[in-house]
């Protein structure tokens, strides 16, 4: 009878050892995953608020946020990413209320290359492109397809050494209103 209890105790000990080792491995992997952001606070990082991203980047008044949002777009932003290196940039993403899919993306970057690198939704087909005057600044308005054949529109411009892109999963009429509302 003792041998039965002994084998159960050995099995329980073995299972406990496996569970402890798995917990140690998971904790180690979580620490290794966070290590780059702890060491290099300047690289792409997720923020919980626009204020936190502003403070981190030192953007102050340069960070343009629209004052107009179509009813179909939810507030607050669903995703805020910012970085200082290799160039200052912020990505702000808003969801569509009905589908809870990304519908509006605003990117501000000190590098023009950063605009394309930071886009999570990419314009795959271009139907129309035109120069547009946005608050006295020359902007490029593009209409095309994003994702799986969905109509989208994008406006890009430069101001004070920063590059701005606003992409909306819709026709350009609402996009123009959103972009115009970004200027004070």
Per-residue pLDDT, 39: 47
Residue 130, pLDDT above cutoff 90: yes
C-alpha 163/C-alpha 62 separation (Å) is 11
Residue 8, pLDDT above cutoff 50: yes
Measured distance between the N- and C-terminal CA atoms of the chain, rounded to whole angstroms: 84
C-alpha 147/C-alpha 151 separation (Å) is 9
Residue 1, pLDDT above cutoff 60: no
112 membership: H or E segment, kind and range: helix 112-118
C-alpha 154/C-alpha 37 separation (Å) is 31
pTM of the predicted protein model: 0.71
User: Average pLDDT in the 137-158 region?
Assistant: 89
Annotate 163-178 with b (16+ C-beta within 10 A) or e (fewer). bbbbbbbbebebbbeb
C-alpha 119/C-alpha 112 separation (Å) is 12
């Amino acid at each position: 009878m003792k041998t039965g209890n002994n084998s159960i105790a050995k099995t329980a000990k073995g299972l406990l050892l496996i569970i402890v080792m798995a917990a140690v491995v998971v904790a180690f992997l979580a620490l290794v995953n966070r290590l780059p952001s702890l060491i290099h606070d300047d690289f792409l990082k997720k923020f919980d608020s626009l204020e936190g991203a502003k403070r981190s980047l030192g953007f102050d008044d340069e960070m343009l946020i629209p004052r107009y949002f179509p009813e179909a777009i939810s507030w607050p932003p669903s995703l805020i990413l910012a970085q200082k290196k290799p160039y200052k940039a912020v990505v702000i993403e808003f969801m569509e209320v009905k589908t809870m899919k990304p519908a509006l993306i605003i990117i501000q970057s000190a590098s023009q290359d950063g605009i394309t690198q930071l886009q999570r939704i990419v314009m795959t087909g271009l139907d129309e492109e035109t120069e547009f005057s946005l608050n006295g600044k020359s902007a490029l308005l593009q209409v095309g397809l994003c994702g799986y054949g969905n109509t989208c529109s994008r406006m890009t411009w430069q101001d004070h050494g920063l590059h701005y892109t606003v992409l909306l999963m819709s026709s350009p009429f609402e996009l123009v209103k959103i972009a115009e509302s970004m200027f004070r």
